[in-house]
Amino acid sequence: QVQLVESGGGVVQPGRSLRLSCAASGFTFRIYGMHWVRQAPGKGLEWVAVVSSDVSNKNYADSVKGRFTISRDNSNNTVYLQMNSLRAEDTAVYYCARDRFGAPAPWGQGTLVTVSS
């Protein structure tokens, strides 16, 4: 079955960087687009970024454009989210998800990023 396991979260100071990883298994990774979605504590869902199956297209939410970079390694079935210039408002659980039917599904269990001094 589809499995997505996020890692790389933790506590980081404002202005610093962090890279999240999402290891995929149970499906043919290279033919699916992949998303990152985040959820601040006690808040709703916010879509963050998507990368196409062949890496030719990447799209970002305005709130992270220019600071975050999504990438993927189809040989290692992994998608990444490089987060630079982190702010307190980036504090959230970050989920990766496969693109299915044109939307994120299914999702991993998430990794918590806390931006605090």
Partner 1 sequence: SYELTQPPSVSVSPGQTARITCSGDALPKRYAYWYQQKSGQAPVLVIYEDIKRPSGIPERFSASISGTMATLTISGAQVEDEADYYCYSTDNSGNHTLRVFGGGTKLTVL
The one among 95, 111, 113, 115 contacting partner 1 by CB under 8 A: 95
Q: Is the dihedral of CA 73, 28, 21, 44 positive or negative?
A: positive
Interaction mask 40-79, partner 1, x per CB under 8 A: ----xxxx--x--------x-xx-----------------
Per the CB < 8 A criterion, the answer to whether 8 and 18 are in contact is yes
Q: Which amino acid is at 98?
A: R
Query: Cβ 97 to partner 1, closest distance in Å?
Result: 8
What is the three-class DSSP state of 31?
A: helix
* Alpha-carbon gap, residue 67 to 62, rounded angstroms: 10
Instruction: Name the residue nearer to partner 1 (CB basis): 17 or 57.
Output: 57
The one among 71, 77, 100, 114 contacting partner 1 by CB under 8 A: 100
Asked whether position 103 contacts partner 1 by CB under 8 A, the answer is yes
Asked whether position 32 contacts partner 1 by CB under 8 A, the answer is no
Asked whether position 107 contacts partner 1 by CB under 8 A, the answer is yes
What is the three-class DSSP state of 43?
A: coil
